[in-house]
Amino acid sequence: MADALTVFTPLEREVDELQAYLDALSPSVFERLEMLHLARVQIFHSLVHQGPRQRRTDTLRVPQLVFTSTYDGSLDDYLDALRIRVPEADEWWGRCPGYPGRDDAAAFGAYVTTHAIRTSLWASAIPGATVADVREALALRERVLDFALAAQGLDAAALHERFRAEF
């Protein structure tokens, strides 16, 4: 079952440098987390209303680093994987006050969960499917496509035999 984590941390220094770093950051850094559906790290300078036109934009006192993700499994397992497999986390959270780094698992987990907010709205493209389920379905799709291409022109009996052998 998927769950979500949203973390807001204040940024008090090096905001422009961090923005440049995040702009250049490859999304592939998150591929190291096999339980991850999606993740995003970004800087909020203001809050913009998404509904009817409003009179003003809410400018934040200090910019906020916002990390959002949807993952499978327990939060503790996810935080361990994030801490161990994504050293880039030190780059973005390292510019936030009080960040302890990734070396101490308990301190890292406490920092992230202390800055987490209750997440009641989050996305899951395939509700109820784990990342492993999605990867397995994609692999099966590839097998079916390969089979269909290779089996073109076979008569019914040969197609049936080849299908049974493949699947």
Q: Residues 109-165: pLDDT tens digits?
A: 999 999 999 887 766 677 677 777 777 777 778 888 888 888 888 888 888 888 888
Give the residue with greater pLDDT, 150 vs 5: 5
Helix, strand, or coil (residue 9): strand
Residue with tokens 């800087």: 43
pLDDT digits (tens, 9 = 90+) for 18-27: 999 999 998 8
Which amino acid does the sequence have at 96? C
Question: Got the DSSP string for 28-97?
Answer: GGGGG-TTEEEEEEEEEEEE---SS--S--EEEEEEEEEEEEEEES-HHHHHHHHHHH-TTHHHHHTTST
How high is the pLDDT of residue 122? 66
Q: Given pLDDT bands bounded at 50, 70 and 90, which one contains residue 40? A: very high
- pLDDT greater than 70 at residue 103: yes
Predicted model pTM: 0.76
